[in-house]
Chain A
Amino acid sequence: SAVISQKPSRDICQRGTSLTIQCQVDSQVTMMFWYRQQPGQSLTLIATANQGSEATYESGFVIDKFPISRPNLTFSTLTVSNMSPEDSSIYLCSAEQPPYEQYFGPGTRLTVT
Chain B
Amino acid sequence: GENVEQHPSTLSVQEGDSAVIKCTYSDSASNYFPWYKQELGKGPQLIIDIRSNVGEKKDQRIAVTLNKTAKHFSLHITETQPEDSAVYFCAASTIQYGNKLVFGAGTILRVKS
Contact = CB atoms under 8 A, between A and B. Distances in A.
Contact of A100 (B32, B43, B104, B106): B32
Interface of A: 1, 4, 31, 33, 41-45, 48, 56, 58, 92, 96, 100-107
Nearest to A108: B43
B105 interface: yes
B99 A42 contact: no
Contacts of A44: 103
Interface of B: 32, 34, 36, 42-46, 49, 51, 89, 93, 95, 98-106
A48 B93 CA distance: 13
27 contacts: A4-B43, A31-B98, A33-B100, A33-B101, A41-B105, A42-B89, A42-B103, A43-B89, A43-B103, A45-B100, A48-B98, A92-B43, A92-B44, A96-B99, A100-B49, A100-B95, A101-B34, A101-B49, A102-B34, A102-B46, A103-B46, A104-B43, A104-B45, A104-B46, A105-B43, A106-B42, A107-B42
A100 B46 contact: no
Given A48-B98, A48-B100, A101-B49, A42 B105 contact: yes
B99 A102 contact: yes
A107 B95 CA distance: 24
A27 B70 CA distance: 38
Contacts of B34: 101-102
